[in-house]
Amino acid sequence: MHLELSEDQEFFRDTARRFLESEMPIATSRQLFDDPDGFDRGWWRSAAELGWTAMLASEASGGGSLSGRPVADAAIVAEELGRLVAPGPFLPVNLVIAALSGAPGHEETAAALVAGEQLAAWAFGEPGNRWEPSGFATTAEPDGDGVVLSGTKAFVEGGGVADHLLVAARTGAGLTQVLVPRDAAGVTVRPSKSIDLGRRFAEIRFDGVRLPAGAVVGEVGGAAADIERLLQLALVLQCADVTGGLDRVFEFTLEYMGDRYAFGRPISSNHQAAP
């Protein structure tokens, strides 16, 4: 395990921090709170140009890792986003990019996501707080030369702005992932309320959505390992985001302790060494 950043990674982190502090300070995030999208698409395209969407993508899709450790590089950006509570679809877009990398037939979509020209969301959880695939009610059933998707997904981050939805569904005893255009017939997107400053969520219903066989990502009924990998990746990036926020709060606390005086001295001096 490498806990220290390389020089290239430190430069990457510093570039991300300067970009966020300049283009998306927390004051701007607050101004966007009532915006349905919650972020500026032009800003997101600029973020993509900085490589924020390339780390988990294949070279064929225009991707590439700075250090050869793509998850570690992505965690650097996630931590900086959390540090400033910055908005944007970083997590969902990168999850879908990771799923499409190396998946035959999806190179064009992956390239558009990497370029920041399109957006995507991972439709995983379901109503009733169902986060375990064994309990999913959404199905993707083979039908002739395609599949039919039925069910409802909830808590879909970025679902309201996504051009594509990567849906985790059951096929018999197995799991299948299907890439669904948001404007496909039978897809209904209903934005959900959230107190999160930077994130937007949606509930999405699929009413007998007919899709070609090429919409399947991976193998029909054989996506269990791929879905588990995406879930683990989501947890890593979310933890990095939270760590960034906590680190910034700790900085605020230290600053306050140095500035706040009580009994004639900074309160930071009122400490006692542990025995």
pLDDT, one tens digit per residue, over 63-78 is: 888 888 999 999 999 9
Distance CA 206, CA 267 (A): 57
Structure tokens given for 205: 């219903």
Structure tokens given for 244: 């960034």
Question: What pLDDT does 274 receive?
Answer: 44
How many C-beta neighbours within 10 Å does residue 247 have?
A: 12
Burial 33-42 (b: 16+ CB within 10 A, else e): eeeebbbbee
Question: What pLDDT does 2 receive?
Answer: 59
Output the pTM of the full model: 0.91
Question: What pLDDT does 92 receive?
Answer: 97
Distances (CA, A) of 214 to 146, 178, 180, 224: 8, 9, 10, 19
Question: What pLDDT does 257 receive?
Answer: 77
Residue 261 has pLDDT above 90, yes or no: no
Residue 273 has pLDDT above 50, yes or no: no
Question: What pLDDT does 248 receive?
Answer: 87
Nearest to 163 by CA among 37, 71, 56, 57: 37
Structure tokens given for 86: 């910055």
Structure tokens given for 92: 């969902």
- pLDDT, tens digit, 9 for 90 and up, residues 204-242: 999 999 999 999 999 999 999 999 999 999 999 999 999
Question: What pLDDT does 270 receive?
Answer: 66
Spatial contact of 75 and 240, defined as CB atoms under 8 Å apart: yes
- pLDDT, tens digit, 9 for 90 and up, residues 40-52: 999 999 999 999 9
Spatial contact of 149 and 181, defined as CB atoms under 8 Å apart: no
Dihedral sign for Cα 127, 128, 131, 133, please.
negative
Spatial contact of 53 and 118, defined as CB atoms under 8 Å apart: no
Alpha helices by DSSP H, listed for the chain, are 7-23, 26-31, 41-49, 70-83, 90-100, 107-114, 224-259
Q: Domains in the chain, start-ordered, CATH in brackets?
A: 7-252 (2.40.110.10)
Residue 272 has pLDDT above 70, yes or no: no
